[in-house]
Amino acid sequence: MRAMLLEKPNAPLRLVNLPPPTPGPNQVLIRVHTCGVCRTDLHVVDGELIHAKSPVIPGHEVVGEVAALGACAEQLNIGDRVGVPWLGYTCGECRYCRSGKENLCESARFTGYTIDGGYAEFLIADARYCFPLHHALSDAETAPLLCAGLIGYRALRMADDAERIGMYGFGAAAHLLTQLVHFQGRRVFAFTRPGDFEAQHLARALGAVWAGDSHIHPPEKLDAAIIFAPIGELVSTALRALVPGGTVVCAGIHMSDIPAFPYRLLWGERKIVSVANLTRKDGEEFLALAAKARIRSRVQTYSLARANDALADLRKGNVIGAAVLEVKAV
């Protein structure tokens, strides 16, 4: 199989030929059709997430079909269309797993980070952590739902019943979540890189009531703010925009250091919370909601061999919507 391999951090991915892996107990072999290119992939490639498998095949927004079954993989059948998310394994026995917080399992493994991922023609996945895909979206449109969509949905849950929601960083996650928030009758205020008028136009087209640069104060106070951009200084910026009792949700797996800020910004029972990974329940709920709300992904597609180009475009902010690798030959 062809695969894009990260041999060491801060190095370009290399196109290699490898033997397809063989599924073990509870595992399936998946023929990859598409794989989204997520900002977390950048953090892995750039060495900002330590303890990555080395070498590793990145990618954790995988859409494909089951090509072979390992022993005891009874949940799926050969030919099933499935999605593979970031969370690839948990122990099922610790206090977090037993209490519905498997996203916090200390033995968890992650696709494209500690498990080889979807920048390849085949990958192995735990059958218990694959999502059956039944909706009619194309493979390319579906891929971003499996992380950008899922993390966005978990972040929205952290925002409780907020009616005015700010989204800082209008990329893959925000462009999906805006559609869901609009469908729910709530209001989105979109914050982009300064001068990114194309992203601001997309935000308004998807239902945002306002869009502007990230350093601008919104026209109304926010009930909640979700930070997708990995920029720590946005925490204090978002706090300044909140009503008392509001929540800042940090939705990235990695963020630069948060600078000191005066206590008065936090006072008034404002909260700062983080989102860690996802649960299978998140996935089941979000995929059902995405179909009901008719959420559509805006994607820029690349061939597997151009994965480095996709990562470079994402790093530079040149992707409007989501970047997706088309792996299966068409």
pLDDT at 135 exceeding the cut of 80 = no
Calculate the average pLDDT of the chain.
95
pLDDT at 17: 96
pLDDT bracket for residue 105 (50, 70, 90) = very high
pLDDT at 256 exceeding the cut of 70 = yes
pLDDT at 237 exceeding the cut of 70 = yes
β-sheet bridge partners, residue 242? 222
pLDDT bracket for residue 329 (50, 70, 90) = low
**Token pair in block for residue 138:** 């194309």
Domains located in the chain, CATH noted: 2-146+278-326 (3.90.180.10), 149-274 (3.40.50.720)
Please provide the DSSP assignment of 33-54 as one string: EEEEE-HHHHHHHTT-S-S--S
3-class DSSP state of 237: helix
pLDDT bracket for residue 136 (50, 70, 90) = confident
What are 303-327's pLDDT values in tens digits?
999 999 999 999 998 999 999 999 9
CB 228 within 8 A of CB 251: yes
What are 207-233's pLDDT values in tens digits?
999 999 999 999 999 999 999 999 999
Average pLDDT score over residue span 43-70: 94
**Token pair in block for residue 173:** 């996650």
CB 254 within 8 A of CB 231: no
The percent of residues above 90 in pLDDT, for the chain, comes to 92
pLDDT at 330 exceeding the cut of 60 = no
